Amino acid sequence: MSGYKIVIWHEIIADRLKNLALTSLENRRIRSDLIETYKIIICYYNIDASLFFFNLMKVEEEVIQRNYIKDVVG
């Protein structure tokens, strides 16, 4: 019986979010991450953006190398 109440409660919350035109917690977290990333890029914080994106650039280089090897070999 309590499992049924939980399902109804979640449906009520989902309906409230729709009626109030609010976004889910996951979407709000993604939006917050994007805002913070933008602030780092425009140097709002005293953080070197190249250090922040170092791992991303490393992964991108590896993908480019793999694709190049596929093109040359294959």
Note the pLDDT tens digit of each residue in 9-27: 667 777 877 788 777 788 8
pLDDT for 6 beyond 60 = no
- The contacts of residue 43 (CB under 8 Å, 6+ apart) are 49
Average pLDDT, stretch 52-68? 69
Give the pTM. 0.48
pLDDT confidence of residue 72 = 67
Domain segments of the chain: what residues? 2-73
Q: Report residue 7 as tokens.
A: 């399902």
Whole-number Å distance between alpha carbons of 20 and 12:
12
